[in-house]
């Protein structure tokens, strides 16, 4: 693929995966070349969905969770081990708030019913929540407590974004964007050297933006209380659940983070939501550019006044 930007044309491919609208934008010499690269990236996204979806009985994750339900152990492959290692790092960095065993709480929180769950049910489910209750000695994962389950929902989509971008870059793409449901990774600037413009949606005003960022590199991911929620007695209860209490966080409405990798930006935005009033300070300490809006409508963060992207640290092992 030629590096001369004058030879490149813009292409966009829309598709659906992981339950959300997705798209790949890239500059290439021809439609056939762009389609070949985008098809390979889409295939990998769908491969990851097939492996780690909790909605598919034939997925690897469902097989792991069948072992977890009975109590026992299972050996995992290198890719899954990498995701588990990252989940362990996030658990430690978040003081136990980012916990991939907490997905089981959705059995109590059925937002489509429009009512709060029974507190006793939430407390009962908490007995099966806690990464510290597992034994993880790669490649063997053991579930001493029967009835637990894993949910990679807070990691896999963002991991898929990073992999898709890497596949495109390895195929020669130097200018492009991977966007899986708002989780974004940039592959260089636009072909003419100008930045890509990434809009940060307002969590309370559908169709409006809090900020538009001009970026030539990096990744952007967001977390918020707007995807699935209920309002009871004037109080909004979102889907971001504290794994220690079993109840939704109620301080920040949304957090967007810019990082070198989408998986880091995504987990960091979720951790900030879970840390509630301490979330912005944690992001500052991590050196991650970010933008937040709280439930009162206040906006802040290092990106609130500037759209510039600076190199950021990743969550370290």
Q: What is the pLDDT of residue 205?
A: 85
Stated length of the chain: 317
User: What are residue 22's DSSP bridge partners?
Assistant: 15, 180
Q: What is the pLDDT of residue 304?
A: 83
Closest among 263, 249, 254 to 211, alpha carbons compared: 254
Residue 13 has pLDDT above 70, yes or no: yes
The ranges of the chain annotated as CATH 3.10.520.10 are: 197-317
Mean pLDDT on 305-311: 43
Q: What is the pLDDT of residue 316?
A: 34
DSSP-assigned states of every residue in 110-150 = -GGG-SPPPHHHHHHHHTT--GGGSEEETTEEEESSTT---
Closest among 97, 91, 90 to 247, alpha carbons compared: 97
Buried b / exposed e along 137-156 (16+ C-beta atoms within 10 A):
eeeebebeeeebbbbbbbbb
48-97 confidence digits (pLDDT tens)? 999 999 999 999 999 999 999 999 999 999 999 999 999 999 999 999 99
Closest among 142, 129, 127, 125 to 70, alpha carbons compared: 142
Model confidence band, residue 312 (pLDDT cutoffs 50, 70, 90): very low
212-251 confidence digits (pLDDT tens)? 999 999 999 999 987 788 889 888 899 999 999 999 999 9
Q: How far apart are CA 73 and CA 206, in angstroms?
A: 45
Q: Is the peptide bond before 139 cis (omega within 30 degrees of 0)?
A: yes
Residue in the structure block whose two tokens are 């007995």: 127
Q: How far apart are CA 61 and CA 152, in angstroms?
A: 8
- Kindly report the CATH number that applies to the domain delimited by 197-317: 3.10.520.10
User: What are residue 209's DSSP bridge partners?
Assistant: 201
129-185 confidence digits (pLDDT tens)? 999 999 999 999 999 999 999 999 889 999 999 999 999 999 999 999 999 999 999
Q: How far apart are CA 36 and CA 25, in angstroms?
A: 13
Q: How far apart are CA 311 and CA 218, in angstroms?
A: 8
Closest among 250, 92, 83 to 151, alpha carbons compared: 83
- Kindly report the CATH number that applies to the domain delimited by 60-143: 1.10.3980.10
16-42 confidence digits (pLDDT tens)? 999 999 999 999 999 999 999 999 999
105-125 confidence digits (pLDDT tens)? 999 999 888 889 999 999 999
C-beta of residue 102 within 8 angstroms of C-beta of residue 241: yes
The ranges of the chain annotated as CATH 1.10.3980.10 are: 60-143
């Amino acid at each position: 693929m030629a590096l001369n930007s004058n030879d490149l044309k813009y292409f966009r491919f829309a598709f659906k995966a992981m339950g959300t609208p997705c798209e790949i934008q890239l500059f290439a010499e021809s439609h056939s070349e762009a389609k070949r690269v985008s098809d390979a990236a889409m295939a990998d996204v769908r491969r990851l969905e097939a492996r780690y979806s909790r909605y598919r009985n034939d997925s690897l994750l469902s097989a792991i969770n069948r072992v977890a339900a009975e109590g026992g152990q299972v050996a995992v492959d290198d890719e899954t081990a990498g995701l588990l290692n990252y989940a362990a790092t996030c658990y430690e960095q978040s003081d136990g708030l980012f916990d991939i065993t907490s997905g089981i709480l959705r059995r109590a929180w059925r937002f489509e019913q429009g009512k709060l769950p029974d507190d006793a049910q939430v407390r009962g489910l908490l007995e099966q929540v806690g990464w510290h209750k597992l034994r993880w000695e790669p490649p063997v994962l053991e579930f001493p407590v029967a009835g637990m389950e894993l949910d990679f929902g807070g990691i896999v989509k963002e991991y898929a974004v990073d992999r898709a971008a890497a596949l495109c870059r390895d195929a020669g793409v130097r200018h492009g964007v991977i966007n899986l449901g708002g989780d974004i990774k940039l592959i260089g600037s636009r072909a003419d050297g100008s930045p890509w413009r990434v809009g940060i949606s307002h969590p309370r005003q559908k169709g409006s933006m809090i900020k538009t960022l001009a970026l030539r590199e990096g990744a952007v991911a967001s977390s918020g209380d707007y995807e699935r929620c209920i309002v009871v007695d004037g109080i909004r209860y979102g889907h971001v659940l504290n794994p220690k209490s079993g109840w939704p966080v109620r301080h920040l409405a949304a957090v967007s983070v810019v990082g070198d990798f989408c998986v880091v930006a995504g987990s960091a935005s979720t951790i900030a939501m879970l840390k509630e009033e301490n979330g912005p300070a944690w992001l500052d300490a991590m050196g991650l550019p970010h933008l937040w809006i709280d439930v009162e409508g206040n906006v802040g963060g290092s990106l609130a006044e500037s759209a510039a992207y600076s190199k950021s640290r990743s969550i370290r092992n």
